[in-house]
Structure formats: structure tokens, C-alpha cells
Amino acid sequence: MFKVLICDPLSEEGLKPLRENPTSQVDVLTNLSKEELLDKVGNYDALLVRSQTTIDAAVIHAATRLKIIGRAGVGVDNIDLQAATEQGILVVNAPDGNTNSAAEHSIAMLMALARNIPQAFHALKNKQWDRKSFIGVELKGKTLGVIGLGRIGAEVAQRAKGQRMKVVAYDPFLTLEKAEKLGVTMGTVDEVIQVADFITVHTPLVKETKHLLNRAAFEKMKPGVQLINCARGGIIDEDALYDAIQSGKVAGVALDVFEVEPFVDHKLLTLPQVIATPHLGASTVEAQEVVAVDVCDDVVRYFNGQAVKNPVNLSAVPKDVLKKVEPYLQLGEKLGSFVQDLANGLIEEFRVVYSGELQDIDVSPITRNVLKGFLRSRLGESVNEVNAKLFADRLGITVIEQKTSQTKGFTSLITVEVLTKAEMRKVSGTLLNGLGARIVRVDEFIVDVPLEAHLVFIRHKDQPGAIGRVGMSLAEERINIATMQVGRAERGGAAIMMLTVDKHVKAKSVEKLKTLADIEDVIAIEL
Ligand SMILES: NC(=O)C1=CN([C@@H]2O[C@H](COP(=O)(O)OP(=O)(O)OC[C@H]3O[C@@H](n4cnc5c(N)ncnc54)[C@H](O)[C@@H]3O)[C@@H](O)[C@H]2O)C=CC1
Ligand SMILES: O=C(O)C(=O)COP(=O)(O)O
């Protein structure tokens, strides 16, 4: 059973994946004060929010059993991602569900701004039939500057072209190919703001975009420019904006987002040139349903042990790739755990080699699981796929992911190699059709062993009686052998036994096995 706390209003329809999941308990507690949130968050495994609840480091530190934070929307600037990652908390969002709604809202704001619709309506409500004060401008033939041409920016650009506007855009991460496909002219931020009649921003709020439109930027803009911000408060410097409106440089502004939200009183709203909505870009029935379904789906996937679709603090993997790597996640974790039991001493290098059908796809989710399995045995349960790489970095372990065309006859093969000052240990595994996860090689020995809970790895001399003595010794401890594989490098030389047994082999039984003639090393492995 996992407990989910929902802190901001989410679509009830969208909560179905969670409500229908028999192993989840959902508590909807909106409008909690910071103190109440700090007090309650420690009881939950999952936390779902929109933009209103701030998940800062204090909340994360109080969230001692939290495993996943779901942001039912795009922007994660209200979540301390660094603190979440360090604590091994996965953050997921819903990046696609509200694109259309946010783009439509931006266009609605653009048109309302150009034709003074809110101001005119307000006058009418105040019983004034005033046609002179609200003469607008046409969009046709005007230039729209789009800053940030991602999902929403691109949709806005396309719609603006439908209004016969010219579109120029700035986005440092956009390929020319995509810009060409959208039929948009790209430029630097200065080039864009110098030619635009209307400017709309669609970037995330990050260090680089904080006050991107500041006093210096306003000076470069055309006199009478109009601005739209349906992305994040803080991309436009509100104090500089206020002054630019007062000076007449900026003729109109449409704002859906603000530097501090929520508020009831804002100095920008005292100006007649400013129209505004209270962060409504994503507030449609359709968007809310989809974003809630998307985060709830990911939460359920997470607790079912499946890879999530929209991770924020892990690299995202496309759906078709996820489908291919998913069956290997558990194999990866078990191989990591296995090789940890084999290797002694300070680890210098940790290499995961992929071949066969894994050769051409993004295997990073598997590598994270291998590393998690490996580090968990050393550092405990606090290690997970979210923070495994961070822990490896801190331990000075170099993690290398490698691909090779050498399949050794398997459809796919994962080999984990661990290099310490003293030795190099390696183990290879695969998924065999109908037989599940198998270990197929340990160091230089070929084996075929199911990856089961209790394993015993024995190095011995290839001499008559060695196998029998091991069997007898385990029988005396009432440990039943389920399967046994024997391999040797050469007749009479170094050899190994790989046993799967029905119960945990305790340290004293391992020590007893080590005293037997021709037995060189014994390792009990728990997966
Ligand atoms: N008002 C509302 O209710 C909503 C607001 N949003 C906000 O809209 C923004 C954009 O969302 P999406 O388009 O879905 O995100 P996205 O990630 O698809 O697009 C963001 C774009 O900004 C670009 N970018 C990043 N740094 C930049 C920089 N320094 N200068 C210029 N461009 C830069 C990226 O390359 C990317 O193309 C986010 O801040 C999001 O939080 C999203 C949905 C609803
Ligand atoms: O998705 C986003 O980034 C938004 O800004 C939407 O915010 P909301 O979920 O409506 O509080």
C-alpha cells in the first residue's frame, strides 16, 4: 500500500488511475499551510502538486518516506530538484497535457491585448459606452517575437501565422531544422526584441531566463511594443516593466503569471495598459484531465516497479525505447547486486557493457539500475535509480557505459565489470525466452544459472570429491541445493561451482565450506 498526498486541486476524472489502483490510498488536502504540510508530508510515499504548493528543501527533508513527487503540469520551478535528487526522490511532470491550453490562452491574451477587450468590457460593466478609448491594432502584418520555441512557443508561433503575423524567435537550444519546419525566422534575443511589435515568452524560469526581459532589454524594444507572459513570473522584470509602461515605451501587457503568486493586490494591475489572468494558462477541463492522468499513471507505474514516462530529475527516455529496456531493469539491478558480492576493495571503475538488441538503444535506465543494485548492497536502501549516479560520483567511482557488437550468441547481453586496485570481476546476464533472467558468465567461466534469491559462488580446484564435499557440508546445515553448475578453465585447474539454494547461507556455513579440501573461495549472494 502506498499513500498519496494531493496538495493542489487536480481533476477528479484524472485521478482515476490512482483511485482505481487497489494498493494506493489517496488524501486530497488542498490549502495546507506550510506548517501543516511539514507536519503531514512525512506520512506519504507520493506527493502531487500543481504550481501553487512550494516543495522546498525543508518540505523534502520532512518527507522521510517520500519516493515520488508528481507535478501535474510543466514548470517545476516550485520544486527544489537538487534536494529531491539528493534524497533519492523521483520528480515527474506532465509536459504534454497542457501545451494546447497554454498556447490557446497565450493567443487569447494576444488578441485581447490588441483589441483592448478586457478594458472595454470593464467600461461597459461600469455603464460607459466608450468607442474612442479602445481603438486597437490589427495583428495581420505585425511581427510576433517568440522567446522560447518549445512545445508551447511552437504552437503559439503556428497560430500567430494563422493570424497572418510574421514570427521571429529566439531559442538557444533549437535546431535550425525545427525552425525551418515551423517556418519561423530565428535570431538572437536582441534581434528578436528589436523588430517585434508583440513579444511573447515561453521559456522555463531558470537562472538564465530570470529577468531575461529587463531594463536594458526594454530600451532595445520598439516604442509601443506589447508583451505577453503566459510562461512564468520572473522572466520579465516586473519593476522594469512597470517603469517601461509608465514611460510609454511599452503600450500594453498581458500577464497570466507573476513573480509572486498568489496575490490580491499588485502595482502592475493599477495600470490601464495591463490585462491579466490569475495563472489560468493550463486551467481547462481537457488539460487538467490529461495532466492529472499523466502524473497519476507515472505514480502507479513507479510503485509497480515500471519505468516512469516523464522523469524530471532523470534523463527522459522515449516511449518506444522504454518498452525495450523495461524487461532488463530487474536483470540489471540483480547483476549489480551480484557483482558487488564478488568484488573486494575500493572500486575504481564500474563498466556496463551492452550488446545484441541493446546495442542501438538508450540503455541509461538499465545502467542506473545496475548501479543501484551495486551500491545498495554497500550503502543501503537509501540508494535508488534517482541518486545512484550522485552516490557513485561522491565515492569517486567512474561509471562507464559501453556498447559492443560481440553478442556471444545471445540476443542481448549485459556484462558488468568492476575494477578495484586488486582485481577485475565481471558477470554477464541475459533474458532467455521463457526462462527469464540468467547469469551466463562469471569472470572467465561460462555458466547458465537462474538469477534467484539465494546463490553460492565457489572457486575450487577441479579435483574429484570437491563437489561431493560441498553437497555434504550444505546438507549438514539443512540447506537444499536447487540447481548446480560447474565450470572449469582446464582439466584439473581452476574451476567454479554456482549453486542456487532454498535458503540464505549464513556466514558460519560459508566459513565451514571454505575449510573443505580444494575449496578456494566461497561467496553467498543474496539477490
Ligand atoms: N501559464 C500556465 O498556466 C502555463 C505555463 N507554462 C510554462 O510555459 C513554459 C514553457 O512550457 P513548454 O513549452 O511546455 O516547455 P518546453 O520545455 O517545451 O519549452 C521551453 C523552451 O524554452 C527554451 N529555452 C530554455 N532556456 C532558454 C533561454 N535561456 N532562452 C530562450 N529559450 C530558452 C527551450 O529550449 C525550450 O525550447 C514553462 O515555463 C511552463 O512552466 C506551461 C503550461 C501552462
Ligand atoms: O504547467 C505549468 O507550468 C503551469 O504553469 C500550470 O500551472 P497550474 O498547474 O495550473 O498551477
Per-residue pLDDT tens digits for 251-275: 999 999 999 999 989 999 999 999 9
Contact by Cβ (8 Å): 171, 149: yes
Backbone angles phi, psi at 128, to 5 degrees: -115, 120
Ligand 1 centroid distance, CA of 473 (Å): 65
Contact by Cβ (8 Å): 228, 254: yes
Query: Using the 8-state DSSP alphabet, how is residue 269 labeled?
Result: G
Residue 229: which of 248, 243, 249, 209 has the closest Cα? Answer: 209
What is the Cα gyration radius of the chain? Answer: 30
DSSP 44-67: -SEEEE-SSS-B-HHHHHH-TT--
Residue with cell 494558462: 281
Half-sphere exposure of 263 (CA within 13 A, CB side): 14
CA 231 to ligand 2: nearest atom: 5
> Quick check: helix, strand or coil at residue 511?
helix
Contact by Cβ (8 Å): 196, 215: no
Ligand sitting nearest the alpha carbon of 208? 1
CA 283 to ligand 2: nearest atom: 10
Measured CA to CA in angstroms, residue 181 lies from 45, 253, 508 at distances of 43, 29, 68
What's the CA angle centered on 233, arms 231 and 236, to 5 degrees? 95
- Assess whether the C-beta atom of 76 lies below 6 angstroms from ligand 2: no
pTM (two decimals):
0.79
Q: Is the dihedral of CA 208, 213, 218, 221 positive or negative?
A: positive
Q: Which residues pair with 27 in a beta bridge?
A: 5
Residue 88: which of 398, 306, 376, 397 has the closest Cα? Answer: 376
- Assess whether the C-beta atom of 284 lies below 6 angstroms from ligand 2: no
Measured CA to CA in angstroms, residue 282 lies from 94, 289, 416 at distances of 11, 11, 45
Q: Give pLDDT tens digits along the chain (527 positions).
A: 999 999 999 999 999 999 999 999 999 999 999 999 999 999 999 999 999 999 999 999 999 999 999 999 999 999 999 899 989 999 999 999 999 999 999 999 999 999 999 999 999 999 999 999 999 999 999 999 999 999 999 999 999 999 999 999 999 888 888 888 899 999 999 999 999 999 999 999 999 999 999 999 999 999 999 999 999 999 999 999 999 999 999 999 999 999 999 998 999 999 999 999 999 999 999 999 999 999 999 999 999 988 788 999 987 777 788 888 988 999 999 999 999 888 887 888 999 999 998 988 999 999 999 999 999 977 888 898 899 988 898 888 999 999 998 877 888 999 999 998 888 999 999 998 767 899 999 998 988 888 888 999 999 999 999 999 999 999 998 999 999 999 887 888 899 999 999 999 999 999 999 999 999 999 998 88
User: For residue 140, how many other CB atoms are within 10 A of its CB?
Assistant: 8
Contact by Cβ (8 Å): 237, 216: no
> Of all helices (H) and strands (E), which one includes residue 131?
none
**Best residue among 8, 49, 74 to mutate for probing ligand 1, ranked by most atoms within 8 Å of CB:** 74
Structural domains of the chain sorted by starting position, each given as residue range(s) with its CATH number in brackets: 2-96+286-303 (3.40.50.720), 99-276 (3.40.50.720), 317-451 (3.30.1330.90), 452-527 (3.30.70.260)
Backbone angles phi, psi at 229, to 5 degrees: -130, 100
Contact by Cβ (8 Å): 217, 191: no
Is the bond leading into 262 cis (omega within 30 degrees of zero)? yes
- Assess whether the C-beta atom of 310 lies below 6 angstroms from ligand 1: no
- Assess whether the C-beta atom of 73 lies below 6 angstroms from ligand 2: yes
Query: Using the 8-state DSSP alphabet, how is residue 307 labeled?
Result: P
Sheet holding 494-501, edge to edge: 481-488, 494-501, 454-461, 519-526
Which residues are within 8 A (CB) of 208 and not within 5 positions of it... i.e. 6 or more apart? none
Q: Give the β-pairing of 412-420 and 445-450.
A: unpaired
Residue 478: which of 507, 503, 497 has the closest Cα? Answer: 503
Which residues are within 8 A (CB) of 261 and not within 5 positions of it... i.e. 6 or more apart? 51, 52, 233, 278, 279
Grid cell listed for 174:
533549437
**Best residue among 156, 202, 280, 290 to mutate for probing ligand 1, ranked by most atoms within 8 Å of CB:** 202
